[in-house]
Structure 1
Amino acid sequence: MTGSQYQEVDIKNAILRESTFTRSNFTGAVMSDVDARDAKFVSAIMLGVKLDGANLANADFTKADLSKADLSGADLRGARLYQTILRGADLSGARLNGADLYQTDFSNSLWVDGTTRCAEGSIGRCK
């Protein structure tokens, strides 16, 4: 599935465990409640994607662009978010325990508490 185009696809509740979507484009896709544990979205373009309620435990989003993504209630425990762009994303209720947040851009994101808006320049943590 590397380099595939999935713009605006509706795949709610899909099972994508251990799949690889490196450099794929999911812009505007609806992926609510998917099970994508251990999936690889390395360098994927996922602008405005809906991943609310998704199981993304141990998924790899290294260098992916999830600007304005809806990750509300998503399970991101142990996920690799190394150099991931989450600018303007909704992380309310998301679980990030054990996630690799090194150089992750949280600028203007709604934080897991559902009330805090991360400041511009929030890299690696919400300020």
Structure 2
Amino acid sequence: MFYIQAVRGRHHTTDRARRLPLLALLAFLALVLGGGPALAACTEPPGTGVDWRRCNLDGRDLAGADLSGMQLRDASLQRTNLEQARLVGVEGTYVRFVSSNLNGADLTGATLREADFTRATLRGAKLARTDLRRARLYRADLTEADLTGAMLGGTDFTGVNLAGATWTDGTRICAAGSVGSCQ
């Protein structure tokens, strides 16, 4: 009889010990997640205030879409069609636009620090006052893009076509054949 009681007591204590960390974790998650704004799912359509942080949006057709003010931090938009899209004021630190079409896109005032635009096309794109510090533009096409007031510290311009682009001072136009730097 004593043996059975001891085993039952130990079993009861073990269950309680297992439940306490789980209950503590659930309480913590309720406190952290319940107190802030709900994050939009990666399947939400673009719109003001939508949060696509860390979303994989590769290969989507978002031509002409208005993504202004959206959160795109650490999102992947590789091989995405964003032609004529509005990305005004987006927060896109670490976003990946590898091989994407951003021709004619408006990225005015966007924060795109350490973004990856490898082989992206940005012909005629508006990048005025855009924060592109430490961005990777390797072999991107910025023909006739507007870089007026853009922040470019540490940006990789290796192989970038800058022909006809308006440089950061807003007055200098890069000469035909400007690759890697504005001539």
Normalised by the size of structure 2, how large is the TM-score? 0.69
The equivalences for 1:13-52 within 5 A come to 13-52=69-108
Taking the aligned partners of 1:18 and 1:81, their CA distance within structure 2 comes to: 16
Higher relative contact order (CA closer than 8 Å, sequence separation 6+): 1
Taking the aligned partners of 2:141 and 2:181, their CA distance within structure 1 comes to: 12
Name the one with the larger helix percent: 2
Unaligned runs of 5+ residues in structure 1 are: none
Structure 1 segments of 4+ aligned residues over 4 angstroms from their partners? none
Show the counterpart of 2:25.
none
Q: Which of 91, 94, 97 pairs up with 2:153?
A: 97
Taking the aligned partners of 1:25 and 1:4, their CA distance within structure 2 comes to: 6
Report the identity percentage: 39
Taking the aligned partners of 1:54 and 1:86, their CA distance within structure 2 comes to: 16
Show the counterpart of 1:83.
139
Show the counterpart of 2:181.
125
Unaligned runs of 5+ residues in structure 2 are: 1-56
Which one-letter code corresponds to 2:62 in the other structure?
Answer: Y
Show the counterpart of 2:124.
68
Normalised by the size of structure 1, how large is the TM-score? 0.99
1:11 Cα deviation (Å)? 1.3
1:76 Cα deviation (Å)? 0.2
Taking the aligned partners of 2:162 and 2:129, their CA distance within structure 1 comes to: 17
1:69 Cα deviation (Å)? 0.1
Deviations 1:3-57 (A, max 9, x none): 1100000111101000001100000001100000000000000110000000000
Which one-letter code corresponds to 1:111 in the other structure?
Answer: W
Which one-letter code corresponds to 1:83 in the other structure?
Answer: R
